[in-house]
Amino acid sequence: MCPNPRFPKPSDRGFRRQTDYNPLMWDEFFAEKKDVETKQGKFRVYLSGPTEPGAPLLVLLHGGGFSALSWAHFSKEVTKLIHCQCLAFDIRGHGDTYTEEEDDLSAERLATDVGDVMQVMYGESAPPIILMGHSMGGAICVHAANMFVLPSLIGVVVIDVVEGTALEALASMQSFLRSRPTTFKSIQHAIEWCVRSGQVRNVESARVSMPGQIINIETKQLATNELPLPADSAAEEKLEFKLPNAIAEDAESGDNASTSGSDDPSITPPATPPATTSVNLRKYAWRIDLSKSEKYWEGWFSGLSQKFLDIHVPKLLLLAGIDNLDRALTVGQMQGKFQLQVLARCGHAVHEDRPHEVAEVLATYLIRNRFAQPTTDGQFLRHMPAC
């Protein structure tokens, strides 16, 4: 049978279902948010609902440039599987955390912040703690465990950070940061870039995590403080991306902004005055300028593999690819010093791209070590340690 040329194919632009890039609220995933005051400043903390006595507390540390809301979907998934409580907080210089010496992102300072927040919240009666971190947050987990800032620590989980590959990647980090857009027209626009650039492959996760990474240029407030958005803001114009990491809204002036988006004559620039366009196209910027933290990068990752192996509590390393293992960790894994799990078909933000599978891996790890108990409806596919 010949296809009817008049009937649109699923691949046709007009036939495609439009992706929803509207932001999601934090309270769809966490039960409570609070600001914890320490001697260093105010830390924004998100908590899942209370659980049974004796259940572990998962302390979740996000990666550089991300925010605590990057753990939103994972927290919702893991609490369905096992009895536990999740605590995610914005690291110094990120999200809605504001401290003295915001630019001090040294490994020792960030690890000390973890201990300070837990001390203020729980004092000497802290529950058993599983420290879990992604990328830079994973490195901080390792440093915190080696500094013994958490007396009730019973386990460490590190997601997609290995000393060898991390140090190699630092050489190209500045060029990567320069390739990102510096401003965004709207929150939806930032979410769309996040997905199209591949920073996060899960649209639903990007919808809740991206607003925690950008601020309003005029008010200097985090984008999450503007949610929920007015109903009419969801119907804004759709803009085309020429490249995944470079977008038309980066134009420095209003005159260029209306003409530099594309050479395609089929795309008509918006008919608005240049001054108004300039304001609209530069409404949001990144919460943190990661390029200024370069002096701390090597300190995050140098010696990380051996420090990870020296931790005396059960350890889990979760990677996006087996090729990411360096020599020290390969030898340590063969000696059974830690559990290794590799998840395929996901990007660097493993816990955002595949939140349910990461939750299953963690639940298996906690149950196998008798750190947690499954919920009554927590039926899931248990993952054995594997590459």
Q: Are 248 and 269 in contact (CB under 8 A)?
A: no
State the catalytic residue, choosing from 73, 143, 348, 383. Answer: 348
Distance of alpha carbon 107 from alpha carbon 325, whole angstroms: 22
Judge whether 326 counts as a catalytic residue. Answer: no
In this structure, how many other beta carbons lie within 10 angstroms of the beta carbon of residue 257?
A: 23
Nearest to 363 by CA among 73, 47, 80, 142: 80
Distance of alpha carbon 196 from alpha carbon 95, whole angstroms: 22
Q: Are 348 and 64 in contact (CB under 8 A)?
A: no
Distance of alpha carbon 215 from alpha carbon 90, whole angstroms: 14
State the catalytic residue, choosing from 48, 70, 135, 258. Answer: 135
State the catalytic residue, choosing from 73, 160, 278, 351. Answer: 160
In this structure, how many other beta carbons lie within 10 angstroms of the beta carbon of residue 89?
A: 30
Q: What are the C-alpha distances in Å from 91 to residues 22, 103, 105, 290, 352?
A: 25, 11, 9, 13, 18
Strand-pairing partners, residue 43, are 36
Q: Which residues contact 347 (CB under 8 A, 6 or more apart)?
A: 198, 199, 200, 201, 320, 353
Question: Which of helix, strand or coil describes residue 187?
Answer: helix
Instruction: Region of 363 please: left (phi>0), alpha (psi -120 to 50) or beta.
Output: alpha
In this structure, how many other beta carbons lie within 10 angstroms of the beta carbon of residue 321?
A: 14
Alpha helices in the chain, H assignment, sequence order: 72-81, 107-122, 136-147, 163-169, 173-179, 187-196, 203-209, 254-257, 274-281, 294-301, 304-310, 327-334, 350-353, 355-368
Judge whether 135 counts as a catalytic residue. Answer: yes
Judge whether 351 counts as a catalytic residue. Answer: no
Q: What are the C-alpha distances in Å from 141 to residues 131, 182, 343, 374?
A: 6, 29, 21, 25
Catalytic positions, please?
Answer: 135, 160, 348
